Structures are given as structure tokens and as C-alpha cells.
């Protein structure tokens, strides 16, 4: 195959080989642009059903114009009968290789990637195409600075896609045949149920989402039959049972995608994307904001409890540390004469008072008087320290309050930085080469990618090409979008 010319492209080198064919790198003989060439094995070309499936992949994929779907440039048969597809050449790695190399994704990256995949699947479903074999091997990760986290996933291999459009001559799957890969098949695929629709892809997306969050698919034990039975009968595990830090709303998203009955899942990719946006909105108030403010308030309350209210007497102090201390004992000099005091005789210089009727009554009065005297200095110390405690409580409250404020500000800034600032739009037309006008000015020629600042409302364009009528195009301005406009030939002579 090397050196063979397919139209304007010459096959240069071999990229890889699979069970049904090989992939080569080809180069345009004049433009020197490189593309990938997928070639069906010669021995399989004679099998009519396999050849139809191979051409079905090219036909199905070529109808979908989206940055998350590999682009098909041409397809056909070589002079020797070999079937081939000319497609976009991708540089990167498959999701399977990425998971095997680095393990599971953190939550924000997993959410961004699954949103991109859902948006790409939505473009396929809009063309009434069901992939039916979404799996990590069919998701190719390409570096793209304009994409979230710098990575754009590309969905490959629509070889067993189901085309729901009766106007397209697509090969039919035999009744009772099982189509798909066991770890990512929906229950209806496992049971070979007729009438499988786009909701089978949503189930597979749930398996991919679980893989991104947990590093493994929801069901990965046993042989082929065990896996089929698990998808049909066994409840899927909660992602948080594998990764405990995952929030409940993420569990709800995954489990709804993995519902056994198609009618219990999200019914469209857009409904799923709306649920993700609602979940992200619920994370806007970070838990640490309330914690910081609550800690400051609690500390201030504890400090203020130590200080008596202004104008009120401090309550009696309890405990050994606050017990009044008796005056120190003095030792008489050696030459001093011993003196014996008569309890009935008053001390010198004191007014004579009648002897107490009971020594206990006078003694208790003396103890009470002494306690008041001894307590007075301690009470004066408490009153003197009141301004200090108040000032300390005020300073600590201000410091903790400022700390909480800056923590809140930091959390909100991080939330704003993580939120996308612009929306990306991919616009194509049939036929291509049409001008896209905004405010009367041509801003690009289809197919083209536009970037606009996120805002509420809609973006409006006019798509026009000489010899064809103009078409109005409107897309929501608060999210990424894609559109393919079909232009009608101008019948005006």
C-alpha cells in the first residue's frame, strides 16, 4: 500500500493495524497536507456485509460536523477494489491509554471531558446517528489550547453506528445479534432488543463517566456472559463508594445515566448537560466560606463571655486560684516579751465593747469582714482588666473576620477562574465555502470556528454564498455550540 496514490493523496507510512484493516499516513501531492487513510483488508472487501459496514462508517461520520467528531474528507474504493476512508490525522492518545498511564480524573476534569463527549454525541444524534460502541478505545484525546483543560476528545469508529434516517441506505443488523463492547453496552444491547435508539449511547456515556471518576468501568468482573448479566440485572455502584470524596449530585448524574430502563435515563444529551450545569451551580458557595465566618463568630463569642457586661458586678470567682490569700505571718523579735491576751479584754487603742454573747458570732463577722477586704483588690484587678479583654476580643474578631473575608474572596476568585470565559462555536454549511456575516460584515468562511464572550441571550449570524439563498443562524450565547446550515440553491435566473 505504501506509495499508492488515492486521488490527490499518496500513502507515505503505516500508523497501525487492527483486525479489519490498517491505518496509514498520506500526503496531498500539491498541498503537502497530511491525513490518515483507513484501509479495509483485501480479504474482507469481498464480504458484502463487512464492506457495507465499512462504508457506513464513512457515510455516518461525514454527516456529523463537530470538533468532537473525527472529520472525514473522502471515501471510496481503489482500482484494485480496496475500500478506504480519508480522514483527519490526529496526534495524541486514546482515553484507554490515558487512564492506563495516569489513572482516574479529578472531578473538574472529568466533568469537562464528559461534557465535551456529550456535546459531540448530541451532534451525532441530531443527524439521527447512534454510535452503539462508545468506549475508551474510540475516544482520542488531542491537544487543543482552546478546549477546556487544553484537551479536545474526538469520537472515532462509527463502524457499527445505527442510522435512524430511513432515507439513507444503511446495512441492517440481524435480529438477535449483539452489537457493542461488553463493559460499555446498554442493557437493551445486551438483550439484543430491537429498536435501540440514542439512549443506548447515554448509557455508554455513563460507563465512561464512571471510568473517568473511578478509574474503572462500573462492571468489570467476570467473563462476557457475566458482564452482560450485570448490565441487565445488577444495580450499578455509586461512584462515591469507590472515591469517597465525590459529592452526592455526581452520584445522581452517573446513576441516572446507568438506569436499566431507557425511559429512566436522561432522554437527550442536552438534558444531561443541563443537569451538569445545575450541579456545578450548587458548588458556587464553597464550604470553607461558612467555616471561616463561623470560626470568627465563635471565637468572639467565647472572648466576650469572659468579660462582664459594663456596669455589672463580676460574679464571685470559684476555685483555688481565686481564693483570697491571708496576710503573711510575722515573727516577733527574740527579745520581745510574750504577751497573753484575754479574750475578754479589748486590744490597746480599741473602744471597749461588751463581750459577745457567743464567740462564734463575732468570729464569723470577723471572717466575713476579712474576706470582703481581701476580695476588694481582686475585684479591682478584674475591673481594670475589662478594657484589655474587650480590646483583645475586638482585635481577634477583626483578624478572624478579615481572614474569613479573604478566604471567601479567594474561593470566589477560584470559582470565577475555573468558569469558562468564552463560548466556542463551530459553523459549517452545505455546501461549504459560505460566508458567515455578523452586523453586515463577513467574519469567516465555512467551515470555521468562532469564539465569543459568554453572555446571556443568543448570537445571530447570516450564512450566505453566491448562487444560494441566505440562512439565518441563531445559537445560545452562554455555552459552546455547533451548527450545520443547509443552503438552498437560488432559483432566481
Distance CA 459, CA 481 (A): 10
CATH code at position 64:
3.30.200.20
Average pLDDT value for residue range 223-237 = 90
* pLDDT attached to residue 363: 42
* pLDDT attached to residue 369: 46
Cell of 190: 445486551
484: pLDDT strictly greater than 60: yes
Residues 259 and 223 in one domain: yes
CATH code at position 431:
2.60.40
> Which one is predicted more confidently, 380 or 212?
212
Average pLDDT value for residue range 462-488 = 87
Least confident residue range of 360-369, 409-418, 427-436, 466-475: 360-369
199-214 and 248-257 helices cross at what angle (nearest 10)?
140
Question: Which of 70, 87, 104 is the endpoint of a domain?
Answer: 87
Cell of 358: 457567743
With H, G, I as helix, E, B as strand and everything else as coil, classify residue 352.
coil
Distance CA 246, CA 447 (A): 39
On whether residue 306 sits in a domain, the answer given is: yes
Q: How far apart are the first and last CA of the chain?
A: 48
Average pLDDT value for residue range 216-241 = 91
95: pLDDT strictly greater than 90: yes
On whether residue 275 sits in a domain, the answer given is: yes
Q: Which of 80, 97, 108, 133 is catalytic?
A: 133
On whether residue 330 sits in a domain, the answer given is: no
On whether residue 467 sits in a domain, the answer given is: yes
* pLDDT attached to residue 406: 72
Residues 98 and 143 in one domain: yes
Residues 167 and 256 in one domain: yes
**Burial level of 421, CB count in 10 A (0-12/13-18/19+)?**
exposed
On whether residue 163 sits in a domain, the answer given is: yes
> Which one is predicted more confidently, 414 or 470?
470
Other C-beta atoms within 10 Å of 442: how many?
Answer: 12
Task: Say which DSSP state 175 is in.
Answer: T
Cβ contacts of 471 within 8 Å, gap of 6 or more = 462, 463, 464, 485, 486, 487, 488
On whether residue 355 sits in a domain, the answer given is: no
**How many domains does one find in the chain?**
4
CATH code at position 203:
1.10.510.10
With H, G, I as helix, E, B as strand and everything else as coil, classify residue 383.
helix
Residues 403 and 429 in one domain: no
Average pLDDT value for residue range 156-185 = 56
Residue 162 binned pLDDT confidence (cut-offs 50, 70, 90): low
Q: Which of 241, 100, 215, 136 is nearest to 255 (CA)?
A: 241
pTM to 2 decimals? Answer: 0.57
Distance CA 280, CA 411 (A): 14
On whether residue 130 sits in a domain, the answer given is: yes
* pLDDT attached to residue 171: 40
On whether residue 356 sits in a domain, the answer given is: no
- Where are the alpha helices (H) located in 11-160, listed in sequence order? 42-45, 48-62, 95-102, 107-126
Residues 271 and 196 in one domain: yes
For 336-386, write each residue's pLDDT tens digit.
444 444 444 455 544 444 444 444 444 444 444 444 444 444 444 555 567
Residues 34 and 47 in one domain: yes
* pLDDT attached to residue 239: 96
Residues 144 and 102 in one domain: yes
145: pLDDT strictly greater than 80: yes
359-418 and 287-305 helices cross at what angle (nearest 10)?
160
Question: Which of 243, 264, 283 is the endpoint of a domain?
Answer: 283
* pLDDT attached to residue 444: 86
Sign of the CA dihedral running 272, 273, 274, 275: positive
9-17 and 34-40 beta bridge pairing? unpaired
Residues 144 and 264 in one domain: yes
- Containing domain of residue 411, as a range? 285-310+379-419
Cell of 366: 470577723
Q: Which of 257, 264, 218 is nearest to 237 (CA)?
A: 218
What does the DSSP assignment read for 398-443? HHHHHHHHHHHHHHHHHHHHHS--EEEEEEEEESS--EEEETTEEE
Residues 166 and 224 in one domain: yes
User: Is 133 a residue of the active site?
Assistant: yes
Other C-beta atoms within 10 Å of 214: how many?
Answer: 22
Residues 174 and 304 in one domain: no
CA distances from residue 334 to 13, 331, 337, 338 in whole angstroms, order as listed: 119, 9, 8, 10
Residues 233 and 306 in one domain: no
Cell of 327: 496576710
Cis bond leading into 447, ω under 30°? Answer: yes
Cβ contacts of 390 within 8 Å, gap of 6 or more = 307
Cβ contacts of 443 within 8 Å, gap of 6 or more = 436, 437, 450, 461
For 14-47, write each residue's pLDDT tens digit.
888 776 778 999 999 888 889 999 888 877 777 7
Distance CA 258, CA 252 (A): 10
Q: Which of 51, 217, 208 is nearest to 121 (CA)?
A: 208
With H, G, I as helix, E, B as strand and everything else as coil, classify residue 489.
strand
Question: Which of 419, 444, 472 is the endpoint of a domain?
Answer: 419
> Which one is predicted more confidently, 193 or 86?
86
Average pLDDT in the chain: 76
Least confident residue range of 116-125, 221-230, 231-240: 221-230
Average pLDDT value for residue range 120-128 = 91
Distance CA 2, CA 12 (A): 6
Average pLDDT value for residue range 58-77 = 85
Distance CA 320, CA 170 (A): 94
* pLDDT attached to residue 426: 79
Residues 206 and 259 in one domain: yes
Cell of 211: 471510568
Distance CA 204, CA 114 (A): 11
Q: Is 67:449 a contact under the CB 8 Å cutoff?
A: yes
> Which one is predicted more confidently, 293 or 266?
266
Rg of the chain taking only CA atoms, in angstroms: 41
Sign of the CA dihedral running 446, 449, 451, 452: positive
Q: Which of 276, 8, 243 is nearest to 119 (CA)?
A: 276
> Which one is predicted more confidently, 184 or 59?
184
**φ and ψ at 352, to 5 degrees?**
-70, 135
* pLDDT attached to residue 423: 80
Amino acid at each position: 500500500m505504501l506509495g499508492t496514490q488515492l486521488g490527490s493523496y499518496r500513502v507515505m507510512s503505516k500508523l497501525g493495524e487492527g483486525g479489519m484493516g490498517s491505518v496509514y499516513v498520506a500526503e496531498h501531492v500539491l498541498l503537502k497536507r497530511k491525513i490518515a487513510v483507513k484501509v479495509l483488508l483485501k480479504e474482507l472487501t469481498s464480504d458484502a456485509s463487512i464492506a457495507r459496514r465499512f462504508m457506513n462508517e464513512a457515510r455516518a461520520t461525514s454527516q456529523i460536523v463537530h470538533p468532537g467528531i473525527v472529520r472525514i474528507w473522502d471515501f471510496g474504493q481503489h482500482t484494485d477494489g480496496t475500500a478506504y476512508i480519508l480522514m483527519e490525522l490526529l496526534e495524541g492518545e486514546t482515553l484507554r491509554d490515558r487512564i492506563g498511564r495516569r489513572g482516574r480524573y479529578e472531578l473538574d476534569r472529568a466533568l469537562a471531558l464528559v461534557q465535551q463527549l456529550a456535546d459531540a454525541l448530541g451532534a451525532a444524534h441530531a443527524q439521527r446517528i447512534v454510535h452503539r460502541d462508545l468506549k475508551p478505545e474510540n475516544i482520542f484525546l488531542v491537544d487543543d489550547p482552546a478546549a477546556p483543560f487544553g484537551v479536545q476528545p474526538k469520537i472515532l469508529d462509527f463502524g457499527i453506528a445505527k442510522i435512524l434516517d430511513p432515507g439513507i441506505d444503511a446495512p441492517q443488523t440481524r435480529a438477535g445479534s449483539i452489537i457493542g463492547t461488553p463493559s460499555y453496552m446498554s442493557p437493551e444491547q445486551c438483550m439484543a432488543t430491537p429498536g435501540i435508539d440514542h439512549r443506548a449511547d447515554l448509557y455508554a456515556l455513563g460507563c465512561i463517566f464512571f471510568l473517568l471518576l473511578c478509574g474503572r468501568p462500573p462492571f468489570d468482573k467476570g467473563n462476557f456472559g457475566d458482564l452482560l448479566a450485570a448490565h441487565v440485572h445488577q444495580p450499578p455502584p455509586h461512584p462515591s463508594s469507590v472515591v469517597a470524596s465525590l459529592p452526592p449530585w455526581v452520584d445522581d448524574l452517573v446513576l441516572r445515566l446507568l438506569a436499566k430502563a431507557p425511559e429512566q435515563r436522561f432522554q437527550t444529551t442536552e438534558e444531561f448537560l443541563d443537569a451538569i450545569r445545575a450541579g456545578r451551580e450548587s458548588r458556587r458557595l464553597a464550604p470553607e466560606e461558612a467555616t471561616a465566618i463561623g470560626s470568627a463568630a465563635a471565637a468572639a463569642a467565647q472572648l466576650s463571655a469572659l468579660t462582664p457586661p459594663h456596669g455589672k458586678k463580676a460574679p464571685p470567682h470559684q476555685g483555688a486560684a481565686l481564693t483570697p490569700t491571708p496576710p503573711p505571718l510575722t515573727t516577733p523579735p527574740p527579745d520581745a516579751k510574750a504577751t497573753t491576751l484575754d479574750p475578754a479584754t479589748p486590744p490597746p487603742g480599741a473602744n471597749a465593747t461588751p463581750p459577745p454573747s457567743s464567740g462564734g458570732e463575732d468570729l464569723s463577722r470577723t471572717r466575713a469582714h476579712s474576706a470582703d477586704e481581701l476580695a476588694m483588690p481582686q475585684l479591682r484587678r478584674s475591673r481594670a482588666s475589662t478594657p484589655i479583654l474587650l480590646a483583645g476580643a475586638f482585635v481577634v474578631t477583626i483578624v478572624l473576620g478579615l481572614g474569613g473575608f479573604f478566604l471567601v474572596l479567594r474561593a470566589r476568585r477560584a470559582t470565577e477562574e475555573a468558569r469558562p470565559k468564552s463560548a466556542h462555536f463551530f459553523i459549517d454549511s452545505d455546501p461549504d465555502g459560505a460566508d458567515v456575516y455578523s452586523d453586515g460584515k463577513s467574519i469567516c468562511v465555512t467551515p470555521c470556528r468562532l469564539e465569543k464572550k459568554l453572555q446571556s441571550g443568543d448570537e445571530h449570524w447570516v450564512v450566505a454564498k453566491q448562487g444560494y439563498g441566505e440562512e439565518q443562524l441563531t445559537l445560545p450565547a452562554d455555552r459552546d455550540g455547533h451548527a450545520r446550515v443547509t443552503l438552498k440553491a437560488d432559483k432566481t435566473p
